[in-house]
Structure 1
Amino acid sequence: MSDDNLDSLLHKTQQSPSTPLLPDELGYLIAAFLPSQPAALRSKAYLVLSAFCQGVRNSSAVKGKQPDPATETLVQVFEPVVVSRLADSDEHQLREGISFLTALFQVDWQSASPIFQQDGILDFIMDSVDLKPSAELSLLVAHLLSQACGHKPCRAIITSQTTQWLEEYSRHENDPALRAAASVALVKLSRGRAGDAAETGVPEAQAQAQDDELADVMKGLVISGDDQSSIADAVEGLAYLSVDPAVKDALSRDPIFLKRLFSLVPRRKTPNFTAEGPNTILLYGVLLTISNLCAYRPRLTEEQAQIAKLKRMAAANKPSQEPNPSSTLDDDENVKTRVHRLVAAGVLDVFAGAVPGTESLGIRVVAGKALLNIIEDKENRGKVLQSGGAKLLGLIIKHAMSTLSPDTSSKTKQEAKATLDAAHLEPIQALAKLAITSSPVQVFGPNDGAIYDAIRPFSIMLQHSSATLLQRFEALMALTNLSSHSAEAASRVAKADGLLSSIELLLLEEHTLVRRASMELICNLISGSDAVFERYGGAENTSGTKSKLQIVLAMSDVADLGTRLAASGALATLTEAPSACEGMIALQFERHRMLPILAHLIDPATAGSHVAGEEGEELMEDDPGLVHRGIVCARNIFLNIQDEKTRKQIAKEAGEAGLVQGLVNVVKSSPSEAILRPAMEALQFLMDNVKA
């Protein structure tokens, strides 16, 4: 096999991927996947095969047409050369056909699957190991079956004899590589058939027992294995098996296994992983296993939770239905305990070795998901920060965002938000959780640029069509913390494309915490951004400003204390501007609600009958923060009234609302100077204008 031949073929497929391969070229390519070939040559062969398959698909794909013409073309190209080799009695030819079909499954399973399903192909493969049972050929067959068992159409033709062959070699302790490969095939077959059975409603009774046995085999191979091929296969098998709660629990309780698993990831900041090679495959398997061990159950909406409850009730009424004892192993407390075990075993060092330098999208996505689940428990967040987790998440997010240009038009940006894969929201959510519970400097470091860079992904998560309500809430909280860092940070948050309108819409959300978070963010932006201050309290666009003021005023009178504190804080800041005070007075004359609300903030007991003490309602609790905010608002509004008639009318309505008595009660309570001075100024205004 000449390296020059493959170089020429690589150049050809890169320049013109859909150009048909000549018979000699196809022969070079097929022979390049033999395990005896150098690793560099096999990696190059994968590039050629991938480029050719992609070229055919790009040139002949017709959306919606069945059968897929691109798949048909690829099958027509590869089937004759694969079948001729599998039917050959020469072992070298057999090895070429089997190793190539295995590679085709990895590159383009849609075309490999129909070839594998052809009548007689499986018989050729299994007859070859019966007639010529060499270790090398058996290993190739086990790897091919492992690939095939990952796809439902291929699983359907796996015979009991083939399964028995895999089971036999999965117990061959003298050949770890073959044992691992056969075990992986059995794992995929077992898990796949269990999933197929779930779709059809047919129970798979022996699946759990077989999974437990295979998990023990895989774990043993990882702990004791020296052969990289067998370790990679064992890790791949565990990545499949570790979705089972019982397997998760058993693996997490074995510190020797965990440390050995984690040691498979090089401890360096910039590992030089190739795009196609055992390091990348092994690394993905390790991270996927970790992610499975850390995974929480999906958070259900109220509707989903109700449906799940009905299903459980229906299942409980069936006498033959036995409860699954392992189901409790996946509840939040058990997951939290598992994560603690992994953290204690050093799992955080794995991400520092895995994420930097890799070009694998799969590795970045699964690492982000695993970090999100680890960060879910607040106790772990400090450790994640200490290990550099925020920087790693930033790196993952940067790759995910690289396709979204900041210079595109508004319409294009909205489309980009919709096309960003929902899986990429998970590392953004993980970074948001860190930004919620720690200061921006602790999370992003002293460089303000890193803080500013985080605004865009948080903004996109908040507006993404696939974002959950929890993700939107956490984006709001994170942006609130960022906006409190500096006026520049607040201004940049306010300028994020489409963000402010989305935040204002969330003020109408039914969920109390989401409404509160939205109001807190708006309060911060009013304080830090001149543009937002003008939007709510400026002289321009009077009708729009008044409607926004009205919303903030209304939010100052809701039952939730946190929302009232944020909204009344925003009003206290806004009423520093005469234009906002004029808007508040206009609202009082139109709706007669502004003064009663301020009175209620200052002294709920006195003003309760005017605001919150209506029939069937309880008085809302008072709070020193609300008192201070209400007094500042009243003082600012009163002292900004220039017209004498307006002064008298406001003073009269303030007395009717209970505001005068509320201020008197506050003054009598000997408050701090910060409260006493504005309270006295407001009282002085009221007394002067009542006398007048």
Structure 2
Amino acid sequence: MGSPSEKIFDSSVPASPSSVLEQSQNASLEDKTVFLLAGLMEAGQEDENTCKELSTLTKLLSDDSSDETRSPEPHQPLYQLIDADSVETILGYLDMRQSANVRGYATLTTSAYLKASGDKGVEYLSQFFYSRVRKGTYDDFILAFSVAACIFPIVPDVTATLFLSEGFVGSLGPLMRRKWKSKKVEQAALEMLNVACMNTPCREAIKKYCSEWLEDMVTYVPPKVEEFSATESPRNAEDGSIQQRTHSASVVNLAAVVLAKLQVVPAAPATNTEDRIQPATTSMEELSDMFKGMLSTETSRQSSIEGLAYASLQSNVKEKLSSDKAFLEDLIKALAEAPPRSPATYGALSVLVNLTSYMPALSEEQRRISQLKAYANASKSPGAPDPLNDDDHVSKRCQAVFDTGAIPVLVTHSQHGSVASLGLVVSIVFSISKNSKLRGQMAQQGAVKLLLHAYSVFPTESVAARRTTAHALARILISTNPLHLFGGSNPLPLTSAIRPLLLLLSDDPSSEQRDLLPVFESLLALTNLASTDDTARNPMIRNSFPQIEELLLSNNKMITRATVELICNLMQTPEGIAKFADGSKPASQRMHILLALTDSEDFETRRAAGGALASLTEWDTAVNAILERDRGVGLLLVMCKEESEELRHRGVVCVLNVINAPAKVGEWGMKKVREEGGVDSLKECLKKSRSQEVLEVTVEALKKLLEDEKAGGGQKLIE
């Protein structure tokens, strides 16, 4: 690569890395790329300059690989300028002995190159990996393992092929068991194994060939000083950190994490008895105890959290962790101190998700399918559900997490975290919100603000995340006074909560069977909001009335009840009244349904329907719609004779409104009430009632009916 650089730099003094970037600004794309590669090959430059060059190279490669961002300037594809030596240079910056910043930028550059170069890049990568492993020095092992660990998430299929190449995984055991060993080789190998566990064939290979020496690492006892032989000397001591048969704490911790990942996923059934995987001797509970002990040590915290994220998938570990108050406090503290978008944050949130998640409720059909799958997998029986994962146990774990002050920490993390971590935060809040006794405190601690922010951040296509957020919001809004959460000195507008709640009224497109619980709890929350003022009611009517109207006819009595209760509150606004009383045919049909619901078997449904009619009958158009129905007045009078004082109150208010309606509507109403036996019904209501308010309304209506009857009788005598 000497000739291109000679064209631009005439000075006989070698250019510094920073000047390479500065002087290449006006060069062609090809020359810029060549100069960046030359700069990266320079030894001894500062990490800051290396990161700048890697970042610039990443952008050039990324832009050049897309039709939308590729420069119109005629040029050779930039990835073709990167030969095997250049690839080796870039991969060298993935070495674990490099700084975290350099490795991060090098990972992005490697990703951009592999995306642009396709098969050629894979060929260079394979050559690099195999050549380093064949050389067999500690330095080469460290670099090969470091590269594999970094690129596994980028090209998992390619890296898995390298990892599973004949003899590679099996050779790790003898390497790790050398009498003289390198801490850094052990750490690099374990970092590679840790990432490789994401791939099922790789995980099975690790379990088969590496479980035994991983167990040895975790359970080893450090030798005494006098056991070391002063006459022995190590070989292959290239990396300067060679020691006799001991393991550093970080290596032991990382080995425990890998073991946890191997144990959490059951092994595939063995087809060959010679290759049978030996069961682990270190239990998950023992590993979780190790991770708990590591949590308070800052240098081991990341490994501890990662290990706990896997260990806490097991129910017995969940119970043990949640009952340890000191551990939960350490975990919440670690989460509070973890930087946003960091592995520590994601890992700590994963642990909390595992501790707080409820098992999904299964329908009868889903239970049968689950049983059939169990039989198909050659199980003798489908097995009983794990009692440690039942609702009672999960509820206690949620309470324990809440008691450690988790919500304020989650609120803080929600403001700066990634979309992925925000999804975990919402899952935790959703689980805790199932306990109605905690909802008020959750609201005070900022949970509503957290959920509204999350809903605005999740993309529209993230339906599951948005629905979970809306459901958690619904639960909290059921149990809290909206006036304490919205308005006044609180900057949250009440209307911001309506759109998420309305989402739950629609079917979940990702679910084969409709779950009515979110619908029901959303209706309750909307009803609570609709009890405030028209700023809440009108958006509900404008944006979702067809859905609400459809739910009114649900086969589920709880959904019907909740819908009628919502409609009752919506009748406090003229827009709601118009839906039943604008004189149109749809309005008349809605009135017919509402009247029919006053005769429902469910008391709460009858009460809500009566409340809605009490508001509606204040309008003469609504009274007219009732009078047009053959049984309209009769159903109102039935309410006046109910055993419940509440229902009688609603009935007599409706009757009084009907006979007080203006002009001809009122005359018609008076006539129909008398013809339907209104006087006797009101007299019966008087006998049953004890409430002063009910008595006063009943007396007023009865008096008006009797006066009208008397006037009507006098008129007949005159005639």
TM-score band by shorter chain is: 0.7 to 0.9
Q: Is 1:248 matched with 2:326? A: no
Q: Which residue of 2 aligns with 1:534?
A: 578
Preserved CA contact (<8 Å) 2:408 2:446: no
| In 1: Cα distance, 2:666 partner to 2:406 partner | 71
Q: Which amino acid aligns with 1:632?
A: V
Q: Is the Cα contact below 8 Å between 1:149 and 1:192 reproduced in 2?
A: no
- The 3 A distance-change label for structure 1 pair 197 and 338 is farther
In 1, Cα distance between the equivalents of 2:335 and 2:203?
Answer: 32
Runs of 5+ unmatched residues, structure 1: 57-69, 405-418, 605-621
**How far apart are 1:139 and its partner, in Å?**
0.9
Deviation at 1:456, TM superposition (A): 1.1
Query: Deviation of residue 297 (structure 1)?
Result: 1.8
1:276-320 Cα shifts (integer Å, max 9, x gaps): xxxx111111111111111222122343356668999x99xx9x7
Are 1:150 and 1:192, in contact at CA under 8 Å, matched by a contact in 2? no
Q: Match for 1:95: what amino acid?
A: I
Q: Does 1:450 align with 2:450?
A: no
Normalised TM-score (structure 1): 0.80
Superposition pairs of residues 264-343 of structure 1, within 5 angstroms: 264-266=334-336, 273=340, 275=341, 280-305=342-367, 327-343=386-402
Matches within 5 A, 1:587-606: 587-588=629-630, 593-604=631-642
Shift of 1:673: 5.7
Deviations 1:457-502 (A, max 9, x none): 1112322524731111111111111222211111122223xx2211
1:397 corresponds to: 455
Query: 1:459 maps to what in 2?
Result: 502
The 8 Å contact of residues 148 and 192 in structure 2, kept in 1 or not, is answered as: yes
Distance 1:536 1:328 in 2: 50
Range with greater deviation from structure 2 (474-483 or 22-31): 22-31
Match of 1:625 in 2: 646
C-alpha displacement at 1:549, in angstroms?
0.7
Paired residues of 1:435 and 1:443 also in contact (CA < 8 A): no
**1:66 corresponds to which residue?**
none
2:610/2:651 contact within 8 Å kept: yes
Tell me if structure 1 keeps the 8 A contact 2:637–2:681.
yes
Q: Distance in 2 between matches of 1:651 and 1:627?
A: 16
Instruction: Name stretches of at least 5 consecutive residues in structure 2 with no aligned partner.
Output: 1-39, 41-49, 67-77, 222-246, 271-275
- The corresponding residue for 1:355 is 414
Q: Distance in 1 between matches of 2:467 and 2:568?
A: 26
Q: In the aligned structure 1, how far is the partner of 2:321 from the partner of 2:450?
A: 26
Query: Within 2, Cα distance between the matches of 1:369 and 1:647?
Result: 55
Match of 2:676 in 1: 654
Give the deviation of 1:15 after TM superposition: 1.9
Q: Is the 8 A contact 2:600 2:606 kept in 1?
A: yes
What is the match of residue 435 of structure 1? 477
Could you list the per-position Cα deviations for residues 63-87 of structure 1 after superposition, in whole angstroms to 9, with x for gaps in the alignment? xxxxxxx8x7874563333333333
- Superposed counterparts of 1:52-201, under 5 Å: 75-76=122-123, 78-123=125-170, 125-126=172-173, 128-129=175-176, 133-158=181-206, 160-172=208-220, 175-194=248-267, 196=268
CA contact (8 A) 2:87 2:124 kept: no
Distance 2:113 2:562 in 1: 51
Which amino acid letter does the alignment assign opposite residue 478 of structure 1? A
Name the CA shift for 1:52/1:464 in 2 (closer, same or farther; >3 Å).
Answer: farther
> CA separation in 1, counterparts of 2:343 and 2:278?
32
Match of 1:634 in 2: 655
Distance 1:571 1:149 in 2: 64
Q: Which amino acid aligns with 1:603?
A: K
Which structure shows the higher helix fraction? Answer: 1
Q: 2:468 is matched with which residue? A: 426
CA distance in 1, matches of 2:259, 2:98: 27
Q: Using a 3 Å threshold, how does the CA distance of structure 1 residues 449 and 601 change in structure 2: closer, same or farther?
A: same
Equivalent position amino acid for 2:161 in 1:
P
> Retained in 1: the 8 A contact 2:627–2:669?
no
How big is each residue's C-alpha offset from its partner over 1:540-567, in whole Å with a ceiling of 9 and x where there is no partner?
xx21111111111112211112111211
The 8 Å contact of residues 264 and 313 in structure 2, kept in 1 or not, is answered as no
SS of 2:188 mapped into structure 1: helix
Cα deviation for residue 134 of structure 1 reads 0.9
Which secondary structure state, in structure 2, belongs to the residue aligned with residue 292 of structure 1? helix
Q: Structure 1 residues 428, 559: closer, same or farther in 2, change over 3 A? A: same
Letter in 2 for 1:544: P
- Listed one character per residue, the Cα deviations across residues 43-94 of structure 1 (whole Å, up to 9, x for unaligned) are 22333345556678xxxxxxxxxxxxx8x78745633333333333243333
- Among 472, 475, 478, which residue is 2:522 paired with? 475
- Paired residue secondary structure (1:185): helix
Of the candidates 94, 115, 126, which is equivalent to residue 33 of structure 1?
94
CA 1:494–1:75: 2 relative to 1, 3 Å: farther
CA contact (8 A) 1:150 1:189 kept: no
Superposed CA RMSD: 3.3
Q: How far apart, in 1, do the equivalents of 2:564 and 2:313 lie?
A: 40
Identity between Structure 1 and Structure 2 (%): 27
Correspondence 1:500 to 2:545: yes
Retained in 1: the 8 A contact 2:51–2:105?
no
Structure 1 238/395 Cα, relative in aligned 2: closer, same or farther at 3 Å?
same
CA distance in 1, matches of 2:175, 2:281: 32
Q: How far, CA to CA, are the matches of 1:291 and 1:672 in structure 2?
A: 51
Q: How far, CA to CA, are the matches of 1:236 and 1:8 in structure 2?
A: 32
Amino acid at match of 2:676: A
* Number of residue pairs matched by the alignment: 612
Secondary structure at the aligned position of 1:642 is classed as helix
Letter in 2 for 1:118: S
* Deviation digits for residues 205-264 of structure 1 (CA, Å, limit 9, x no counterpart): 9579722222222222224x331xx32122112111212111111111222222222221
Aligned match of 1:665: 684
| Closer/same/farther in 2, CA of residues 440 and 648 from structure 1, 3 Å limit | closer
**Residue 584 of structure 1: how far off its partner (Å):** 0.9
Q: Which amino acid aligns with 2:101?
A: A
Q: Are the counterparts in 2 of residues 191 and 207 from structure 1 also a CA contact under 8 Å?
A: no
Residue 434 of structure 1: CA displacement? 1.0
Judge which range, 75-84 or 644-653, deviates more: 644-653
Q: Which one has the largest radius of gyration? A: 2
How far off is 1:387 after superposition? Answer: 2.4
1:154-181 alpha-carbon deviations (Å, 9 max, x no partner) = 2233363311121112224752211121
Q: 1:494 to 1:49 in 2, by over 3 A?
A: farther
